[in-house]
Every structure is written in structure tokens, then in C-alpha cells.
Amino acid sequence: MEKEIQQKIQLVVDWLRQQVDDSGTRGLIVGISGGIDSAVVANLIKKAFPDNSLGVILPVKSSAKDIEDGILVCEKCGISHFTIDLTLQHDELIKKVIDELKNENLYDEKNLRIMDANLRARLRMSTLYAIANNLNYLVVGTDNAAEIYTGYFTKYGDGGVDLLPIASLKKQEVYEWAKILEIPQNILDKAPSAGLWEGQTDEIEMGVTYNSIDNYLAGKPISQGDKSVIERLHRISQHKRQMPSFPKMNI
């Protein structure tokens, strides 16, 4: 099992090198949250490009623990890293948007939380691309198979990336790779969270466990209730997995 995973890791590392070569870029960048998905990706890009890989910690009102864990992940695998705190920029932009919507009598308070959350993810994406443009790097995403299938990501936020090296891995496989990559145990022990609001966890928000999604993706039996939840999430997020629609015209 361990040997098999090592071989798969090597395949992905080679694939990353090939993608950079083919694109005429010089290296790879990833956002580091202190969670397991970005920890695995940080290790993969560091293996692919020991001198041309970068982890960026981008707090937006993030907990001190998550920031500390992000730094720990980077130090453990030796990847170059720095922190850019986006809290002020996020708060200023959201205030401007809310003020203007209020001025126009358009503001809907009940959508504040999701608007605030997705703006965090999109500010991170913009920041990573600004750095990538400057360094001539590709932006690497961290979405796994369960997140992609259910659409559990922000469109053009954490979903706005150039490469998805762990997109074929079920969440359980992400844990298996993390162990082989010797990612610190406390990162493995944390409940998966987008960290977009206080107390948020992926499984509570999705209404289904990663275990169930993994089983569904593997074609194993799961409860009818879980199946309905997963299929609904997949259906309503179809637009996130494709290019924007456009009218077909002969011009």
C-alpha cells in the first residue's frame, strides 16, 4: 500500500513538472490554509520544484491557530513561504459594496455570510495570480474528488486555478497521502473546514460526510438520504465545472 502511494505521488510530481515545462512557466504557487489539502499540495509542489515553489498564507480574519499551522506545514516540508494578511482589504471592499447596495435599496442582509465568505476566497485567488504573474508561476489548486463532485468550492475563488494535482483523490486518499508525506498529525486531526466563518465545517455545511461522498464515488452503497444530498449538490454545481454558457451564433 505504502509503495503504491509513493509511486502515485511520484507520478503526480512528474506530471507537475511536465505541466510547468509545457506552459513555459518557471514554477508553482499554492495558498496555504493550515488544512490537509493544501498541506498535501505544498509537499507535492516542493518535491516537483525544490527551488521554484511557493506557499502563501493569506489570512482574512483567520484564527491564529490556522496561521500557525500553515507556517508549520511550510516549515516541515521546507517550501519557501510568506504571509499576506488580506483582512483590511476584505473589510474595506465588502463595506464599499454593502454601502452602495444599501444606497440603491438593494441590499439583502440574509446573503451577507456567503457574500463575505466567497469574497475571501476570491481575494485569495486574485492575490495568488498577482504573485504568479510576477514570478511566471502556475497557480495550483487543492480541490479533491469529493469537493469537485459536490461543487464544494467558490467559483473563481479556490476553484480559480491552473492545475488540480489531487483532483482524483477521495478525501480518505488525501489522508493516506498526508501520512506518507509525513504531514504533522495535528493537521490530520483537524475537522475539514473552509474557515470562511466561525465554527464552519465542510461536513456540517454540505449535510453529508466525506466518508459517504467517498463511498458514493467508489460505487459503494450509501443511504438513500445521503445519495439524494450528494446528487443534488452535484446537479446544482454543474455550472462550476464548465466554461460559462454562451449563445451559439454563426458569425
Ligand X SMILES: Nc1ncnc2c1ncn2[C@@H]1O[C@H](COP(=O)(O)OP(=O)(O)OC[C@H]2O[C@@H]([n+]3cccc(C(=O)O)c3)[C@H](O)[C@@H]2O)[C@@H](O)[C@H]1O
Binding site for ligand ATP (CB under 6 A): 30-33, 35-38, 57-59, 62, 124, 142, 158, 190, 192-195
Contact between 52 and Mg ion by CB under 5 A: the answer reads no
Out of 13, 20, 42, 121, the only residue in the binding site for ligand X (CB under 6 A) is 121
Which of ligand X, Mg ion, ligand ATP, none does 196 bind, CB closer than 5 to 8 A by kind? Answer: ligand X
- Closer to ligand X at the Cβ: 158 or 214? 158
**Distance (Å, whole) CA 47 – CA 45:** 5
- The percent of the chain in helix, strand and coil, each rounded to the nearest 5, is 55, 10, 35
Based on the shown chain and the rule CB under 6 A, indicate whether residue 188 belongs to the binding site for ligand X. Answer: no
What is the secondary structure of 219-250 as a DSSP string? T----HHHHHHHHHHHHHTGGGGSPPP-----
Query: Which amino acid belongs to residue 11?
Result: L
Residue nearest to Mg ion according to CB distances in the complex: 35
Handedness of CA 130, 132, 148, 121 (dihedral sign): negative
**Which of Mg ion, ligand X, ligand ATP, none interacts with 154 (beta carbon under 5 to 8 A by kind)?**
ligand X
Task: Kindly state the cell numbers that stand for 185.
Answer: 498529525
- Interface with ligand X, residue 58, by CB under 6 A: no
- In the shown chain, the binding pattern of residues 216 to 245 toward ligand X, with x for contact by CB under 6 A and - for none, equals -----------------------x------
Give 27's strand partners.
Answer: 137
Pick the closer one to ligand X by CB: 158 or 162.
Answer: 158
- What one-letter code names the amino acid at 235? R
The residue within the footprint of ligand X, chosen from 117, 125, 174, 213 (CB under 6 A), is: 117
We find the least distance from the C-beta atom of residue 195 to ligand X, in angstroms, to be 7
Q: Is 152 in the site for ligand X (CB under 6 A)?
A: yes
All residues at 6 or more sequence positions from 191 whose CB lies less than 8 Å from its CB, including other chains: 201, 202, 203
Using CB under 6 A as the binding rule, whether residue 155 contacts ligand X is answered as yes
Q: Judged by CB under 6 A, which of 92, 100, 205, 231 binds ligand X?
A: 205
In angstroms, rounded to a whole number, what is the distance separating the alpha carbons of residues 58 and 70? 10
